[in-house]
Amino acid sequence: MEENVKDYLKFSESAAIRAAVLIQRWYRQHVARLEMRRRCTWNIFQSIEYAKEHDQIKLYNFFGHLMDHFTPASRERNLISHIFHENKVCRDIELERYFCYKSIEVTESYTGPHLSFPMTFCGVSKLVESFKHKQQLHARYVVQILGETWRLLRNLPNINHVYVCRAKEITICGDLHGQLEDLLLIFYKNGLPSPEKPYVFNGDFVDRGKNSLEVLLILFGFLLVYPSDVHLNRGNHEDHIVNMRYGFTKEVLGKYRVHGKKILGLLQKIFSWLPLATIINHKVLVIHGGISNVTDLNVIAAMDRHKYVTTLRPPKTTHQKDTGGKTKKGRSEKDVGLVDGPHHGFTTPGWERDHPRRQLSWSLEEELKKRRRMAWFDHSYGEMMRSDSDSDSESGTGTDADEWKQIVDLLWSDPMPQNGCTPNEIRGGGCYWGPDVTQAFLGKHNLQLLVRSHECKQDGYEFCHNRRVLTLFSASNYYEVGSNRGAYIRMGTDLVPHLIQYRASRTCRDLSLRQSVGWVERSALRALRERLFVHKSDLISAFQEFDPNSTGMISLKDWACATEKVLKLGLPWRTLRVQLISTTEHGLMNYQQWIKELSIREPTIMETIYRNHSNLETIFQIIDADHSGSISFEEFRQTWKLLSSHLQTDISDDAIKGLAQSIDFNKDGSIDINEFMEAFRLVDISAHA
């Protein structure tokens, strides 16, 4: 009997072990599948984001091309010229007048916080509490804070040097992107800035999030109270051109309809005065983007950073005149205004060197017809790093061009695992740099760690290059609720980064891993289907190349190849086919039916709106030079002409006129931004009905 019991126990123990192993194996496979889905989802979000950034830079380079090659009297040139004039340096007395707030009256009906200056800890705490309760600060106080911030920033160096001791650690935060909830959570977990708790905020305070201005005002408030303990680095989104596309311009104009234009003008100046880097205890460098093989901190420390109001284009230099109406470069005044070169530092066209004199009477269509053949965006990093003699003749002085390249690399670059330094063609600006470049740079400047931001990471941070480069991102749920954690670091005298991760959304914290992955995956696939939808015509053409007999059927391999050829997102399409293709027959898919399932129809002008609404809205904001929120029918026609030229497509004047009349809902003879966006919303609804 005892032997039977022992045998039974042994059998039971063995069965339990086998069951535990099976459960463990199943669980590991389950987690691995979830992780694969999570990574694939992440690739979708990131690829779409970088593609949009590249579109932004291509559009801006196109405007730069118009400015460089159109005649000064051109009407189309005048429409966009104001966005390039912000790089001019104003005299102090002019700026002091511009920052004046005294004419803005605080009415008795205002129920928000009342501030006194100079700012105190009590005042900025009151500001934080009011924003937490969704109150809006009066425009007078906004302008006062901006004016005081501008006066302070002008006295700061390009590179802040910070020192930590045993008594206090320093906190470093990455991108916030207007997500006030993340900033408030950091303060709740870590404490408010103070002399005992210094902070470094590493750029990209604005855009994408809906509370960018509130985030800025809180950071500026603490900077004014603790100028030695709060340090702000400039990011690539502290740029008025980038703000036009990614929401900050629209946010400010929506919240401050009367004084919004003034506030935006002030912010342009402030952004140009933000420091470019922070060095902690001579050993840790904190910059927003990255470095290249030509980055030199000595050059960065000595430059006049405020000249670079936008990093998307080098500042124009006024050449001194010589006798005979010639500049010292040997060109006439008229020629100097007409010809400019490539925008070094961004992946831009390989423009021809010698251009004939333009006739002043050339129209937009005639000029662009000739110029289209010269464009498209193919440049190597080596070509961008031309000799100073090239830069002298094409983008102002060689010194200005070199400085501008340094700033572009500092704000736009990303690390890569391979050695070397190559152009960042995915973003369209800056470079990719490898571990060998990191080692050489840190060795040259006697540094031990580079902390940067600029890239969203699933865990809020990521080490690379033998743990000598740390990417830090502080905007949680950046793409979608549950898509990523945010993170910040604390650093003491040992200069070892101690990471703190978080999620700002309570909804996300209540979800299981499987629910969270599913939620984010559905959002990513929805964004990807929209991307497929807007490229319908190109997709059909690409599929037909693999279907010479017009059967309507292609292999899954050919589908993946054609889709990547059109979208250029670098995604694992054959893995994604399970989520994107509902039915197959013997390894073939009916692409005509698949097209119908995506609601893809024949090309129309409305489809072009849907496909390019971000570009069109950016052009709208640029042409609306006075930020009134409306443009005339003629300006709307010019908007479409610029867009169609940028896209290398032809849209008739009759089609544009009909579209303008249909969008003008209140029939007042002009189109405001709300009418434009409402028209896009209606297109969006009809497309997915």
pLDDT digits (tens, 9 = 90+) for 602-622: 444 445 555 555 666 666 666
Confidence of residue 247 (pLDDT cuts 50, 70, 90): confident
Q: Using one digit for the tens of pLDDT, what is the confidence trace for 91-119? A: 666 666 777 788 888 988 999 999 999 99
Reported pTM: 0.75
pLDDT tens-digit readout, 388-443: 334 333 444 566 788 999 999 999 999 999 999 999 887 878 899 999 999 999 99
Backbone φ and ψ for 486, nearest 5 degrees, come out as -100, 165
| Least confident interval from 230-234, 280-284, 384-388, 644-648 | 384-388
| Structure tokens belonging to residue 85 | 């004039």
Cis? peptide before 193, omega within 30° of 0:
no
- Three-class SS state of 438: helix
Distances (CA, A) of 580 to 33, 164, 573, 688: 18, 52, 9, 16
Backbone angles phi, psi at 277, to 5 degrees: -160, 160
Mean pLDDT for 263-278 is 94
Cα–Cα distance, 299 to 234 (Å, whole number): 17
**Distance (Å, rounded) from C-alpha 68 to C-alpha 53?**
22
| Residues 225 and 400 sit within 8 Å (Cβ to Cβ) | no
Report percent pLDDT > 70 for the chain: 68
**Single-letter residue type at 340:** D
Q: What is the mean pLDDT of residues 32-43?
A: 76
Look at 1-15, 229-243, 265-279, 536-550 and tell me which has the smallest mean pLDDT: 1-15
Q: Which two tokens stand for residue 82?
A: 């104001």
Once rounded to an integer, what is the mean pLDDT over residues 167-187? 95
- Please give the full DSSP string across 257-278, using - where no structure is assigned: TTTHHHHHHHHHHHHHHS-SEE
Q: Distance between CA atoms of 561 and 338, rounded to whole angstroms?
A: 43
Q: Which residue has the higher pLDDT, 411 or 480?
A: 411
Q: How confident is the model at residue 319 (pLDDT cuts 50, 70, 90)?
A: very low
- Tens of pLDDT, residue by residue over 439-469, are 999 999 999 999 999 999 989 999 999 999 9
Q: pLDDT: is 79 or 219 the higher one?
A: 219
pLDDT in tens, 188-225: 999 999 999 999 999 999 999 999 999 999 999 999 99
Predicted confidence (pLDDT) per residue in 594-604, tens digit = 888 875 444 44
Specify the DSSP class assigned to residue 304.
-
User: What confidence tens digit (pLDDT) does each residue in 484-532 have?
Assistant: 899 999 999 999 999 999 998 766 666 666 677 777 888 888 888 888 8
Q: Would you state the pLDDT for residue 657?
A: 74
Please report the pLDDT score of residue 612 as a whole number. Answer: 56
Across the chain, mean pLDDT equals 78
User: What DSSP string describes 513-556?
Assistant: HHHHHHHHHHHHHHHHHHHHHHTHHHHHHHHHHT-TT--SEEEH
Instruction: Name the catalytic one among 237, 240, 288, 379.
Output: 237
237 belongs to the catalytic site: yes
In this predicted structure, what is the pLDDT of residue 376?
Answer: 31
**542, two tokens:** 């690409």
- Confidence band for 329, pLDDT divided at 50, 70 and 90: very low
- Estimate the crossing angle of helix 2-69 against helix 573-580, to 10 degrees: 100
Phi, psi of 201 (to 5 degrees): -105, 120
Of 276, 265, 267, give the one whose Cα is nearest residue 156: 276
Count Cα atoms within 13 angstroms, Cβ side, for 687: 26
Taking the C-alpha atoms of residue 13 and residue 3, their distance in angstroms, rounded to an integer, is 15
Express each pLDDT in 365-389 by its tens digit: 444 344 333 333 333 344 444 433 3
- Whether pLDDT at 57 is above 70: no
